[in-house]
Amino acid sequence: TTSTTTTTSTTSTSTSEEAINVLGSFSYKLRGNAGFIVNEDTPVPAVGNEFSFLLAVNQTEPSGYLFAKASPSTGLHYALLSSGGSIVFLYRTSGSSTTRTARVDVDLADSNPHTLIIAISGTTLTVTVDSPFQPSSFSTALAGPPDDCAPLSSDCQLYIGQRETNTGYFTGTLLL
C-alpha cells in the first residue's frame, strides 16, 4: 500500500498570476517503488517564459524525480530531479529534442522538510529552499525557456514522484 502526500502549485506569471493546486488538497508519501500520473482533467496550464512551482518536500532517499512533464510521442519536456546533493532541472527548449540540464547544489535528501520554489524567468532558473535553518536562493542560466506539451492529455502527461519512463522513483513526502 502506498500512502502519499503531495500538493503542487503551478504559477504562470506572463500577464496575470494563476495558481493551480494540481493534486487537490492531498500530499503523498511515496515509498520509492511507484509514482503516478496526474489526471488529464486537471487544468494544468502550459508554462511560458515566466513560471514557478511551489513544493513541500521531505526526501528520505538520495535520489528521485519530484515531477516530470512529458509526451509519450515526443518525450520529456521538463522534469525536476533531486540527486546526489543537487537539484537538477531537465528540460528541452522549443523546437529542440535535446534534453538539457541546469543544476544547483542543494541537498534535499536529509530527511528534513523543505519548502522549494522553482522559478523560471526567461533564461534564468532560480531555486529557493526554505530549510528549517535558513532560506537560500540559487540561480543558474538556461539555454532558453522550457518547452511544454500542455494541456494535459493522453499525449501530454504530468508525472509525480517519477519520470516518464517509469523510473527514478522518489522516496519521501511531496506536497505540490
* CA distance linking residue 74 with residue 51, whole number of Å: 22
Place of cell 509525480: 160
Distances (CA, A) of 168 to 25, 59, 61, 165: 25, 13, 11, 8
What radius of gyration, in Å, describes the C-alpha atoms of the chain?
A: 15
Q: Which pLDDT tens digits describe the chain residue by residue (176 residues)?
A: 333 333 333 333 333 445 555 555 567 788 888 899 998 988 888 888 899 998 999 999 999 999 999 999 999 999 999 999 999 999 999 999 999 999 999 999 998 889 999 999 999 999 999 855 677 999 999 999 999 998 899 999 999 999 999 999 999 998 87
Give the distance, in angstroms, between the CA of residue 51 and the centroid of all CA atoms in the same chain.
12
> Which residues have CB under 8 Å from 72's CB, separation 6+?
154, 155, 157, 164
